[in-house]
A and B are shown apart, each in its own frame.
Chain A
Amino acid sequence: MSVPFVIHLIIFKYIPIAGWVMAFQNYKPGRAMFQQKWVGLAQFEALFSDPQFYLVLRNTLAMASIKLVMGTFFSILVAILIHETHNRPFKRSVQTISYLPHFVSWVVAANIVLEFISPRGPINGLLLRLNIIDEAILFMGKPRLFWWIIGGSHVWKTAGFGAIIYLAAMTGIDPQLYDAAQVDGAGRLQRIRHITLPGIQSTVVILLIMNIGHLLEAGFEQQYLLQNGLVQDYSEVMTIFVLKYGLRMQRFSFAVAAGIFRSMVSIALIFTANKIADKLGQETLL
């Protein structure tokens, strides 16, 4: 049964690894792979000696962490809130509305975000009305806010959809536990704290371990579409850096070198996270 998937895995995940030799060449299109010029570690040197690279690395890790933590927290929160709601039509509509943004392409979503927080947008309008501020704030022009705008828009776009998997985990919890707890006099918060959360704990840990492997993939479209010159010191992520200084300049070898670096870090992160989970006596992935 699993044969087609293994074949798929081999074709699309293992064979392309052969392309890694490009990282040790100065690859030019149109020539056979082994007629290329070999340059040793020059591509990696170029990567690590670029001061921009460390800035980009910082931004990538920061935004990925913010997205991971905020994304997970709010997904669980939404799941719990929906789980605790018993009015079915209301529950349904909340669920639909909350995961709707997931299906909106970032090209559209970015424009919605930009309009929403623009000086003429509703956020500024509200703050002005409440007299919290005297004049509209140019949110997109504040470098230090950019990471949080990314985090916030990530939550808006994915929390509802991300909640589905936790909701599924919650339906697996034996309802008798809740009944028993209620008989014992546990309040709603206590039931959440002592039954719901432990019930989804293993799902949360597995998902966290898997997502930690993607820490160097802070996203592309989101930053690319939201960024501007004023915030670029905080908005440039690995993918944009590779696009600008690699692919756009036809420096395929440089791009592959960056890709290898990313893969290596990801593998290391997964193993570390797995180890930690193991040490803490939690469910592990490997």
Chain B
Amino acid sequence: MRKFIMIVLVAAMAGGLIWANGTDEASTEGGMKEYSVFLGYPKEDYPQEGTILGDWIEEQTNVKINWEFIVGDLDQKVGIIAASGDYPDAIHPRNLSSVVYDAGAYIELDGLIESHGPNIQKLYGERLDLIRYGEEKKIYWFPQVMPYGNKIRKTGATHGIWFQKAVLEEYGWPEPKTLDEAFDLLLDYREKYPEINGNETIAFTGLYDGWRWFPVASSPSQYAGNPNDGGWMVTWNGDKFIVSHPAYGPIAKETYRKYNRVYLAGGYDAESFVMDYDQYLAKMSTGAVLAHFDQGWQFGKIQNLLKDQDQDRWYVCLPVMLDETYVDEHEGPLQPQVSEGIGITVDCKDPEGLMTYFNFLAGMDTLVMKNWGRKGVDYMVGADGVFYRTDEQIAQWQNQSWVDYTFGKAYWSNFLSADGASLMDDGLNNFAPANNPDVFQAQLRDAEIEVLEAYGKDSWFDFFNAPDVRRESYFPAWTIRKETGSLEQITEQKLDDIRRKYIPLLIMADQGDYDNVWEEFINEVNRQVSPEDYQALIDYMQLKVDERVDIYGGYDKVKAMK
């Protein structure tokens, strides 16, 4: 018995050694170059039989990628990769790129871009400078998406208050400008229809589960006329951008006071504070939620489900402000998420080869293939050069799992992509098909056309003001990453924790008790975070915004823009 166990043990250890040595490195096998890539995004394993896009890329480049995707907790996995010193050829650790950089795992890409990356230079243009990082201001990674050129065309809304179509229809297609107007409408509708599909009508709600609560947490800055800067307010004072946080001042106070009004009238869903994401979606799918503040992609599934049910319980996003003094600026300019991306590691044996591959991915033909598919099969080209899709092609491309895992888009969508709202060189076509007017129109359901016609708009994006171009110089502030383990990071986490407790308490305050709860909230902030620490956090954000503007070309250039 002892012998048997020893044999098993020895075999297991030997197996472990072989396995440990078996990590992928740039190798040549049957003329194919192979590279290992870690992506911090969860995906299905790459299909054995290949994918349409993947086979096409392999054919053109003679490169095969061995994928590894995140399973479990990203922070933990990336921490282990960084500490192990044993890296795949390329790593995309999502928002933890700085961690991998700190470990010294990335190589500088400047020289390689110069020698092997003409397509990348063309795709990124002047914006190449924006992704410089560290003391040396070198390039270490390529972001997920990059705007291309300066021509933009968008059809979708990003975030705001989403109103049920049925509610808007009931009141003759109003455009509520302020929270008061919006809540009057919603409460009135709730009174008229206390139950929808057998469920109690909820006038207004939000999503508070874990990290997914960020749209709700940052909404006060949108109500005060700012795009998504991750809750920060970055305001132009005539000379420069000034960073502040609305959560501890009058803007947040008045916002939650208005929410409190809805709560006291019985229209705010108190359960939203304790629900998880699945429960939130389930509740919305009943059709009993009249409105909520969120980013569209968080409930995209349910939105489509509600549209399919044909009960007019799906949502239209409108810009609503705290009061008349604020001007809508929900939409920000297109900017890359410069603080994260895919980088080549020191363990890559053949960085030139991998850069050549990346360069291929950044090529216009590849980008068209990735977004539109095969010409004549997945899209058509009209006599005027405008791309369009037939009804069958549209149906095929609305099947997300087909697009992701049969066509294979999922595997190449997280790096070296062009922003879907950018126009191609021809000035006619968007990178993302849904932004091409023909495709957008063809995809609309009858009920959607009814809403757009009632409001006299061409697309959902048209409800919102055009972005302020000056913000291009720094936007978005939410990608500014505090150094890991730094005082700023700890301060921010503490503030976040306090708000998680007090935002619900504020909204659920008893009649007449609101100001007391607010005072308690501010006291708690002061108790846990000293004014110096808070100021240090603001100063850090200001410094980073200024730094970005500097790289962009300085405040003088920004001033001249409008």
The answer for the CA separation of A230 and B2 in the assembled complex, in Å, is 56
Q: How far is the CB of B467 from chain A (nearest CB, A)?
A: 32
Q: Which residues of B lie under 8 Å from residue A29 when comparing CB positions?
A: 79, 82-83, 99, 102-103
The answer for the CA separation of A31 and B271 in the assembled complex, in Å, is 47
The answer for the CA separation of A230 and B271 in the assembled complex, in Å, is 11
Stretch at the interface among B316-324, B411-419, B499-507, B530-538: B499-507
Stretch at the interface among B182-190, B455-463, B484-492: B484-492
The answer for the CA separation of A124 and B341 in the assembled complex, in Å, is 48
* Chain A interface residues toward B at CB < 8 A: 1, 3-4, 7, 26, 28-31, 51-52, 110-111, 114-115, 118-119, 138, 140-141, 225, 228-233, 244-245, 247-252, 254
Q: Which residue of A lies closest to B5 (CB)?
A: A4
The answer for the CA separation of A52 and B485 in the assembled complex, in Å, is 17
Return the contact of A3 from the options B2, B274, B499, B500 (Cβ within 8 A): B2
Return the contact of A249 from the options B274, B484, B501, B528 (Cβ within 8 A): B484
B273 interface residue per 8 A CB criterion: yes
Q: Is the CB of A229 within 8 A of B75?
A: no
Q: Is the CB of A250 within 8 A of B99?
A: yes
Q: Which residues of A lie under 8 Å from residue B516 when comparing CB positions?
A: none
The answer for the CA separation of A254 and B79 in the assembled complex, in Å, is 14
Return the contact of A111 from the options B273, B278, B485, B489 (Cβ within 8 A): B278
Residues 396-415 of B contacting A (Cβ, < 8 Å): none
B9 interface residue per 8 A CB criterion: yes
Contacts A29-B102, A118-B271, A249-B484 hold; do A229 and B504 have CB atoms under 8 A apart?
yes
Closest 6 pairs between A and B when the two form their complex, measured CB to CB: A30-B103, A229-B500, A140-B274, A29-B82, A250-B484, A29-B83
Contacts A7-B9, A114-B276, A115-B279 hold; do A51 and B105 have CB atoms under 8 A apart?
no
**Binary flags per residue of B60-72, CB closer than 8 Å to A gives 1, else 0:** 0000000000000
Q: Is the CB of A233 within 8 A of B99?
A: no
Q: Which residues of A lie under 8 Å from residue B208 when comparing CB positions?
A: 228-229
A-B contacts counted at CB < 8 A amount to 100
Q: Is the CB of A230 within 8 A of B273?
A: yes
Q: Is the CB of B85 within 8 A of A232?
A: no
The answer for the CA separation of A25 and B515 in the assembled complex, in Å, is 45
Q: Which residues of A lie under 8 Å from residue B5 when comparing CB positions?
A: 1, 3-4
**Interface CB pairs A-B, < 8 A, 28:** A3-B5, A3-B6, A28-B102, A29-B102, A29-B103, A30-B82, A30-B83, A30-B105, A51-B528, A111-B279, A115-B279, A119-B271, A138-B274, A141-B274, A141-B504, A225-B276, A228-B500, A229-B500, A229-B501, A230-B273, A230-B274, A230-B505, A232-B500, A244-B493, A244-B497, A247-B79, A249-B485, A250-B485
The answer for the CA separation of A250 and B82 in the assembled complex, in Å, is 10
Return the contact of A1 from the options B2, B79, B104, B499 (Cβ within 8 A): B2
Q: Which residues of A lie under 8 Å from residue B484 when comparing CB positions?
A: 249-251
* Chain B interface residues toward A at CB < 8 A: 1-2, 5-6, 9, 75-76, 79, 82-83, 85, 99, 102-105, 208-209, 270-271, 273-276, 278-279, 484-485, 489-490, 493-494, 497, 499-501, 503-505, 527-528
Contacts A29-B103, A251-B484 hold; do A111 and B276 have CB atoms under 8 A apart?
yes
Q: Is the CB of B503 within 8 A of A229?
A: yes
Q: Which residues of B lie under 8 Å from residue A114 when comparing CB positions?
A: 274-276, 279
Q: How far is the CB of B482 from chain A (nearest CB, A)?
A: 9
The answer for the CA separation of A230 and B275 in the assembled complex, in Å, is 11
Q: How far is the CB of A91 from chain B (nearest CB, A)?
A: 36
Q: Is the CB of A4 within 8 A of B276?
A: no
Q: Given A29-B99, A52-B494, 12 other A-B contacts at CB below 8 A?
A: A3-B2, A29-B103, A30-B102, A30-B104, A31-B103, A114-B275, A118-B271, A118-B279, A228-B209, A232-B501, A247-B79, A249-B489
The answer for the CA separation of A4 and B270 in the assembled complex, in Å, is 55
Q: Which residue of A lies closest to B8 (CB)?
A: A4
Q: Which residues of A lie under 8 Å from residue B278 when comparing CB positions?
A: 111
Q: Which residues of B lie under 8 Å from residue A51 when comparing CB positions?
A: 527-528
Q: Is the CB of A229 within 8 A of B273?
A: yes
Q: Which residue of A lies closest to B102 (CB)?
A: A28
Contacts A3-B2, A51-B528 hold; do A230 and B504 have CB atoms under 8 A apart?
yes
Q: How far is the CB of A20 from chain B (nearest CB, A)?
A: 16
The answer for the CA separation of A232 and B484 in the assembled complex, in Å, is 24
Return the contact of A254 from the options B485, B497, B499 (Cβ within 8 A): B485
Q: Is the CB of B9 within 8 A of A4?
A: yes
Q: Which residues of A lie under 8 Å from residue B83 when comparing CB positions?
A: 29-30, 252
Return the contact of B79 from the options A229, A231, A244, A250 (Cβ within 8 A): A250
Q: Which residues of A lie under 8 Å from residue B2 when comparing CB positions?
A: 1, 3
Q: How far is the CB of A184 from chain B (nearest CB, A)?
A: 48
Return the contact of B497 from the options A3, A228, A232, A249 (Cβ within 8 A): A232
Q: Which residue of B lies closest to A139 (CB)?
A: B274
Return the contact of B493 from the options A1, A247, A249, A254 (Cβ within 8 A): A249
Q: Which residues of A lie under 8 Å from residue B279 when comparing CB positions?
A: 111, 114-115, 118
Q: Is the CB of A252 within 8 A of B270?
A: no
Q: How far is the CB of A274 from chain B (nearest CB, A)?
A: 31
The answer for the CA separation of A246 and B184 in the assembled complex, in Å, is 45
Q: Is the CB of A245 within 8 A of B75?
A: no
The answer for the CA separation of A232 and B496 in the assembled complex, in Å, is 12
Q: How far is the CB of A10 from chain B (nearest CB, A)?
A: 13
Q: Is the CB of A1 within 8 A of B501?
A: no
Q: How far is the CB of B264 from chain A (nearest CB, A)?
A: 15
